[in-house]
Homo-oligomer: A and B are copies of this chain.
């Protein structure tokens, strides 16, 4: 809970990484750390957002759900990613929910303080703009995918994305450690676990992938 840990946290975030020491120290003094257990809710859609969250360690899923309780996972975040930032500048209410995937440690930075810092630091706003722009672009990619691709294409795209994010190169392909259950993965691409499971089996039969237990998939070369 001391400043040493905080520093690590702030420094891990690319958009803060090359701020000068004075500003880093300022941020450190404002950050609070908290641990969340697997499945624990970090915040719920509709709440008033007062913080920006930074992942010190672990995974977090941001999702939305409708009245019938179906959920769609907007993003899966890892160490060094930040979230809750849509509440800066405009919105009061959080538009999605955040939940810990596995145990994780989260740093919280009061929104008001970050707003002040942003206003006084062109450098920082520029980086933030860059980060959010890139997110918008990724989100538009997903829109296109949901609108135009069928379940098999979306499944393959999901695997390729996971591979890009955190795939491990092997001599016969790229090994993926699946961060979520089938159900969670299905929610990432707007389908059901049964459909995902079928498509994975089909891809394996075609020789494109190899399903290794329930938490690993190898995308084969060629």
Contact = CB atoms under 8 A, between A and B. Distances in A.
A147 B74 CA distance: 10
A136 interface: yes
Contacts of A147: 72, 146, 190
Q: How many copies, total?
A: 2
Please report whether the interface of chain A is mostly helix, strand, loop or mixed according to DSSP.
helix
Which bucket holds chain A's interface residue count?
35 or more
A122 interface: yes
Q: Which of A72, A129, A130, A134 has the most CB of B within 10 A?
A: A129
A17 interface: no
Q: Which of A88, A121, A126, A143 has the most CB of B within 10 A?
A: A143
A74 B137 CA distance: 11
A72 B143 contact: yes
A86 B125 contact: no
Contacts of A91: 133-134, 137
